[in-house]
Structure 1
């Protein structure tokens, strides 16, 4: 199964750029910006980076954020992510970027855009196609929404495909952001808000109703509402499920206890993702293997998860077709039956 998962050409739909910073990347940034106070030797950095609890995760996350000063730092971050994705045979990823945080930290807008563009070009040379989701840090309110939307529409970098909403969910209603998502949608950006990660099903309903979500980030609590599960399945609305992240942040007790089983049993389009991979000790291949092991999935079912991610992506149809054909070829080499049930269509 491990070799099969590696051979599958994979797509990732939910990974945060700052949260993707691995040890090598952080070490480079720490040595470039020693005043940030992040350890500059590997052994100390490994201890600093080892996940302890959610508060420690936030401390490390903001330490990395503080070292992102300009184009070179963003470039380093993007290329570091691309190398890790290439190592896992991930061909395409939609990466969440939070421009408001960078700009309010003092990074010039052109530096952010240049770093994204140059990093994306180098990633493509590694065989990894990157697209961007610009998201609102919801806890920072409507001013952050307004500035994020303005930046997205005025800069419109190559590869920008979607508009998101992240941050804490409790006390941060989805409906207040409806006008910004409506404008983004009119400009051709897809709606991909977080919902139901740290709150109940009503947050997911609101994301669907008020933000016209085309995919849901996390969606973990959907299993608490049978009507919502049925709605997601019937409408083919994909979930960006991040199992290890949910365990690490204590939203679920274990991979075995994760509601991904109920999601799949209900016919929901499930995609597997890493969220903030090095922070949580996750890899995309590891997510596939953990879920396959916990749920007892066979090669066909694992292949369908890879297909789901392709179908749920915002890739052009021709690229989707090519990746689906390659997944089928890999599955055939691993003994895929001639006839399988059709996939739900996002």
Structure 2
């Protein structure tokens, strides 16, 4: 990184043209306000905001627990196969419009199971939209079912049981999110998930300290860390992450909106890259945080990253994904070509 950044319009063109992969975005957290209103009316959910203006106020989060409350309330509008297909189709179209070629989306499966919605209904809707999205937009979607860790071990077991019973081949991993609690109790759950061929993709170190990241690494055998920004508080952990190149899926605007960082200028993304960590760039819950992946690239540029840095983040997303080797090589080659053309413009 250096201060000699190109003009803003030129960087905007690069951001637009870069082929992108997104690895940390929540399906339910990607619900647009208009969709939330539509589904609330469809199912007669009366205790939610009744207008787009009220939803904007609803999305003003006091802290991370408040965000979780709003998230869970919004999820209640998803009830049948058609709802899940509608949501996933809209998310796919919006990703494609940002030149996202491939995305691994977290699905808050337990938040549906707890309301009596079978996993088969959830996955049937998602799979219909996934197939249509690839045909219509050329964007490929994969799923990461997860559970809220603060709900306990039994909830994690039930969620994994449902995934193993009804999950399609497009499920690539297993996640844990929610309010950040100790990850050690989930060792057995993750051992089962890994034995079944699912990748270990827990949230850790968003606001729970570096010890949560250590737990995700040592106990859950994480293959990527969701967020991980608290790793910067532990030099030994930074050294370990540098040596192993374990990917950290970072979402700057999300961290600002949930008060994990007080000011965007305080975000550790530039320092993480300076330390040689393997960082990917993501939007997390885009409409809830007033962002999308394009905006996250713009935010990274405002934090001092150059065009070459942005292209490196795009490459990191490809490398950290579960695409096959040939697809990774093709996308990386395209990223390099876009960067070269931008430099010559």
Which of 231, 243, 247 is matched with 1:234 structurally? 243
Match runs of 1:144-293 below 5 Å: 144-169=155-180, 172-293=181-302
Q: Secondary structure at the match of 1:160?
A: coil
Structure 1 range deviating more: 93-102 or 301-310: 93-102
Deviations along 1:306-341, whole A, 9 cap, x unmatched? Answer: 0000000011111111111111111111117xxxxx
The residue matched to 2:264 in structure 1 has which SS? Answer: coil
Once the two structures are superposed, residues 176-209 of structure 1 have per-residue CA deviations (whole angstroms, 9 ceiling, x without a partner) of 1011111111111111111111111111111100
Q: 1:127 aligns with which of 126, 129, 138?
A: 138
TM-fit CA distance, 1:119: 1.5
> Is this contact kept in 2: 1:99–1:134, CA < 8 A?
yes
* 1:1-346 correspondence to structure 2 within 5 Å: 1-48=11-58, 50-54=59-63, 57-124=67-134, 125-169=136-180, 172-294=181-303, 296-335=304-343
Identify which range, 297-306 or 254-263, moves more after superposition: 254-263
Could you tell which deviates more after superposition, 25-34 or 77-86?
25-34
| Structure 1, unpaired ranges of 5+ | 337-346
Q: Distance in 2 between matches of 1:267 and 1:45?
A: 39
Structure-2 change in CA distance of 1:36 and 1:92 (3 Å): farther
Q: How far apart, CA to CA, are the structure 2 residues paired with 1:17 and 1:90?
A: 15
Question: Are 2:78 and 2:84, in contact at CA under 8 Å, matched by a contact in 1?
Answer: yes
Per-residue deviation, residues 105-124 of structure 1 (Å, max 9, x unmatched)? 11133211211111111221
Cα distance in 2 between the residues matched to 1:245 and 1:147: 28
Root-mean-square deviation (Å): 1.7
Q: Deviations over 1:256-308 (max 9, x none)?
A: 211112211110001011111111111111111111111x2221111000000
Q: 1:251 to 1:34 in 2, by over 3 A?
A: same
Number of aligned residue pairs: give it.
333
Partner SS state of residue 144, structure 1: helix
Q: Which runs of 5+ in 2 are unaligned?
A: 1-10
Q: Is the deviation greater in 38-47 or in 150-159?
A: 38-47
Tell me, yes or no, if the aligned pair for 1:196 and 1:204 is still in contact at 8 Å. yes
Partner SS for 1:334 = helix
Contact 1:30 1:39 in 2 (8 A): no
Q: Cα distance 1:188–1:71, how it changes in 2: closer, same or farther (>3 A)?
A: same
Structure 1 residues 46 and 160, CA gap change in structure 2 (3 angstroms) = same
Contact between 2:270 and 2:305, CA under 8 Å: does it hold in 1? no
Answer whether contact 2:89 2:133 (CA < 8 A) is retained.
yes
